[in-house]
A and B are shown apart, each in its own frame.
Chain A
Amino acid sequence: MSIVEQDVEMVAAEEEVDETAKNALEADALVLADLKQNFALLERAVATIESRFITRVLRTIASIRKRLNANVLSQAIQLAFPRDSPDRSKLLDYLGKESGVMEVDSEEDTREQAPILPEIDIYLNLMVMIYLLDKQELEKGVQLANETTSRLQTFSRRTLDQLSARIYFYYARFYEILGKLAEIRPILLAAQRTATLRHDDDCQATLLNLLLRNYFHYNLYDQADKLVSKATFPETAGNNQQARYMYYLGRIKAIQLDYTASHNHLLQAMRKAPQNTITAGFQQAVYKLSIIVQLLMGEIPERSIFRQPVLRKPLIPYLHIVQAVRVGDLSNFQEALAKYSDVFRADKTFTLILRLRHNVIKAGIRMISLSYSRIHLRDICLKLHLDSEEDAEYIVAKAIRDGVIDATIDHENGYMKSKVSETGVFSIKKAQRLTKPMVKMPTPVQFQENVDIYSTNEPQVAFHQRISFCLNLHNESVKAMRFPLNAHRKELASADALRERERELVKEIAEGEMDEDDDVADF
Chain B
Amino acid sequence: MSATLQQTSRLYSELQNEFYSSNPDLNRCGQYLATLKVMLSKISLLLPEGEINNAEALLIGRNILEIGALWSVATKDIPSFERYIAQLHTYYTDYGSLLPQSQQMYPLIGLNLLRLLSQNRIAEFHTALENIEPEQLLDNAYVKHPVHLEQYLMEGSYNKVWNSRAEIPAPQYAFFIDILMETIRNEIASCSEKAYTCLPLADAATLLFFDNRQDVMTFAMERGWQVDTDGKIYFATKNDNMVEIPSTSIIKHTLYYARELEQIV
Contact status B243-A394, CB under 8 Å: no
- A412 contacts B126, C-beta separation under 8 Å: no
Task: Known contacts A394-B191, A400-B194; decide if A220 and B151 are in contact (CB<8 Å).
Answer: no
Asked if B131 lies at the interface with its beta carbon under 8 angstroms from chain A, I say: yes
Shortest distance in angstroms between A394's beta carbon and chain B's nearest beta carbon?
A: 5
We find that the number of chain A residues with CB closer than 8 angstroms to chain B is 48
Contact of B154 among A355, A387, A411 (CB under 8 A): A355
A456–B191 CB distance below 8 A: no
Interface residue A41 (Cβ < 8 Å from any Cβ of B)? no
In the complex, the answer to whether A397 meets B122 with C-beta atoms within 8 Å is no
Q: Judge whether A351 and B134 touch: CB under 8 Å.
A: yes
A391 and B151 contacting across the interface, CB-CB below 8 Å:
no
Residues of A within 8 A of B122 (CB): 257
Nearest opposing residue in chain A for B137, CB measure = A351
C-alpha spacing A460/B154, complex, angstroms: 32
How near does chain B come to A445, taking the closest CB pair, in angstroms? 13
Given A257-B122, A358-B156: A408 touches B127 (CB 8 Å cut-off):
no
A398-B191, A455-B243 known; A351-B130 Cβ under 8 A:
yes
Interface membership of chain B positions 180-200, coded 1 if the CB is closer than 8 angstroms to chain A and 0 otherwise: 000000011011111111011
- Asked whether A23 is an interface residue with its Cβ less than 8 Å from the other chain, the reply is no
Binds A, one of B33-41, B69-77, B157-165: B157-165
Inter-chain contacts of B129 with A (CB < 8 A): 351
B196 touches A361 (CB 8 A): no
Contact B158 A394 (CB under 8 A): yes
Q: Are A351 and B126 in contact (CB under 8 A)?
A: yes
Q: Categorize the interface residue count of chain B.
A: 35 or more
Is the beta-carbon distance between A401 and B190 smaller than 8 angstroms? Answer: yes
Contact at B123–A256, with CB atoms within 8 Å?
A: yes
Closest partner residue, chain B, to A220 (CB atom): B131
B251 at the interface (CB under 8 A from A): no
Interface contact A411-B130, CB-CB below 8 Å = no
B72-124 contacts to A (CB < 8 Å): 93, 122-123
- With a cutoff of 8 Å between Cβ atoms, the chain A residues found around residue B127 in the complex are 221-222, 225, 255-256
Contact B130 A219 (CB under 8 A): yes
Partner of B203, one of A220, A386, A411: A411
Which residues of chain A come closer than 8 Å to B253, judged between CB atoms?
464
Indicate which residue in A257, A408, A467 contacts B197 across the interface (CB closer than 8 Å): A408
Q: Are A219's CB and B195's CB within 8 A?
A: no
Known: A351-B134, A357-B151, A358-B154. A257 touches B123 (CB 8 A): yes
Flag whether B231 is at the interface (Cβ < 8 A).
Answer: no
18 contacting pairs across A/B (C-beta < 8 A)? A219-B131, A257-B123, A258-B123, A354-B147, A354-B151, A358-B155, A391-B160, A394-B158, A397-B192, A397-B196, A398-B156, A398-B187, A401-B191, A401-B193, A411-B200, A457-B246, A460-B250, A474-B264
**B residues at A contact (CB < 8 Å):** 93, 122-123, 126-131, 134, 137, 147, 151, 154-160, 187-188, 190-197, 199-200, 203, 207, 243, 246, 250, 253, 256-257, 260, 264
Given contacts A358-B156, A408-B195, 15 further A-B contacts (CB under 8 A): A220-B93, A256-B127, A257-B123, A258-B123, A351-B130, A351-B137, A358-B151, A394-B157, A396-B195, A397-B192, A397-B195, A401-B193, A411-B200, A411-B207, A456-B243
